[in-house]
Structure 1
Amino acid sequence: MPTSVAVERRSPVNAFVVPFGIFAVLLVLNQLLETAWPDAKFAVYPGQTLVCGFALWRYRQAYGPFRTRGLAFGIIIGALVFCLWVAPQWLHLAPPRSGGFDPGPLAGSPGLYALTLAFRFLRLVVVVPILEEVFWRAFALRVLIRPDFSGVPFGTFSWSSCLVTAGLFAVGHQRPDWPAGVLAGLGYNAVAYRTRNLGACILAHALTNLGLGIYICVTRQWGFW
């Protein structure tokens, strides 16, 4: 997936908003369906992954070419955010996270179980980091500085856009994760400011989510996702 500081200045707003919007709408749809169909997520989430992945591919030219600048810093921040996210459980300051997307009911069908986990990791490690960084770092950070965001260079700093974006990023997660979400938002913002490379932001986010996914599977704390 092309990503870069060279985010195309003439790119339509749809390229930055539509994938995230589709993702959010399908999350709401899943919540509505679960009132009558508790296992709706096993159908909605794979569909969400495919539809959002297609949308990102459709708009890929808007995000610029891939760059390697600042990837090391992105890796450091991604690892740090992962540690912060699971610290309450590591330090026994919070109870285990039960519930959530537990594929256990599918264990009787090994193939389906493996496919479900594969889609879950594809969503967690590839689709979500790209669409969220495209929306929060490439769009929100800039549009909060100037409505005509295409004229704002990627990585431009503003206290107001930095703090508002970090706060909104946090409340998009489960309530127990809000403190870590704020720190994560600030961390990914820092990657944008330091590297001016959208690819480094995506890498940081993907690394955090990969670590979290592995942690979830090892500890069976499905409530994290």
Structure 2
Amino acid sequence: MAADPPAPKSGSSADRLRLEEPSLWIRRQVVPFAIFMLFLMLLSAAGSFFKVDLPSQPWWRRAPEYWIYPLQTIACLVVLVRWWKSYEFNWSLKWVLIGACFGAVGIGFWLLPTYLYDSLGLQSEGWWNWLGLASRRDGFNPAEHFEEGGAAYWFALVMRFVRAAVVVALVEEIFWRSFLMRMVLDFDGDYWKQPFGKPSWLSFLVVTGLFVLAHLPVDYAGALIYGSLTYALCVWSRNLGACVVMHFVANLLMGLYAVGFGKYGLW
């Protein structure tokens, strides 16, 4: 792996918080991700004890994700906005553009298998599902529960895009790249003092491996390639903002593809 990156620019509030108040910095790195995961647990619980998939039932019982996802989005955004200056984004036009290119390439690899599934005329389940070759047509489709083009339909769809492209990009990159990569580098020491983007094979294997496992098995191949590209961008740019932009562009394009081609299972 390459040599240690240079020390971060001094003077930023995010750097001062990380170096002078590590316990507070840790909480602000982890809490948004924890809130996001708690809502997923709530969705799982609702699916087990609350959901009733019958046409006679109201939409909020048949599809609890349509009210849990917006609440999750709003809760995470409130925390992120409140703690915005605590994060080391270091925005720059150069890395925004490079991050956008990485996002387009990364999501291209993720979407390729479902495109090949249709192109090859596959119609059944098989070992190829582990490579991502699947129809991916069953998933988040507001038209199944609301009048297409109506206010409820657009609210559900817009909030889903905000969740995927904005909240997920921020929450996951802050946790995976800014926090967990550092923690893996020096678990028993003052890991918060590690510079952002410092490379090591251990952090690559742990962070990328957990990123892959956080997805469905059908997405493992795409997540492995995408996660590896994100790690490469992270250690090359040493710029959290670039990683966030990559994730934003990738999820935005995935959402557009899912809605445009009826591949709702992708998101």
Structure 2: how far apart are the matches of 1:51 and 1:22?
A: 8
Q: Encode CA deviations 1:16-59: one digit per residue, 9 max, x unaligned.
A: 10000110111011011023323110110000000011111122
- TM-superposed CA distance for 1:107, in Å, is 2.3
Partner of 2:137: helix, strand, or coil? coil
State the match for 2:180 in structure 1.
140
- Asked if 1 retains the 8 angstrom alpha-carbon contact of 2:88 and 2:240, the reply is no
Structure 2: how far apart are the matches of 1:141 and 1:103?
A: 36
Structure 1 stretches lacking a partner, 5+ long: none
State the match for 1:149 in structure 2.
191
Structure 2: how far apart are the matches of 1:63 and 1:131?
A: 11
TM-score normalised according to structure 1 size: 0.93
Structure 2: how far apart are the matches of 1:63 and 1:29?
A: 27
Partner of 2:91: helix, strand, or coil? coil
Q: 1:158 aligns with which of 200, 205, 210?
A: 200
Moved more, 86-95 or 176-185: 86-95
Higher alpha-carbon Rg: 2
Structure 2: how far apart are the matches of 1:71 and 1:160?
A: 27
- 1:59 and 2:83 aligned: yes
- Asked if 2 retains the 8 angstrom alpha-carbon contact of 1:166 and 1:183, the reply is no
Structure 2: how far apart are the matches of 1:125 and 1:222?
A: 15
- Asked if 2 retains the 8 angstrom alpha-carbon contact of 1:166 and 1:184, the reply is no
- Asked if 2 retains the 8 angstrom alpha-carbon contact of 1:188 and 1:201, the reply is yes
- 1:95 and 2:120 aligned: no
Q: 2:263 aligns with which of 201, 205, 221?
A: 221
Supply the AA of the counterpart residue of 1:220: G
Structure 2: how far apart are the matches of 1:109 and 1:181?
A: 32
TM-score normalised according to structure 2 size: 0.79
Question: Could you tell me the percent identity over the aligned residues?
Answer: 33
Structure 2: how far apart are the matches of 1:79 and 1:118?
A: 21
- TM-superposed CA distance for 1:73, in Å, is 2.3
> In the TM superposition, what are the counterparts of 1:65-84 in structure 2 within 5 Å?
66-68=90-92, 69-84=94-109
Q: Give the number of the structure with larger relative contact order, counting CA–CA contacts within 8 Å between residues 6 or more apart.
A: 1
- Asked if 2 retains the 8 angstrom alpha-carbon contact of 1:163 and 1:186, the reply is no
RMSD (Å), alpha carbons: 1.6
State the match for 1:14 in structure 2.
27
What is the aligned length? Answer: 221
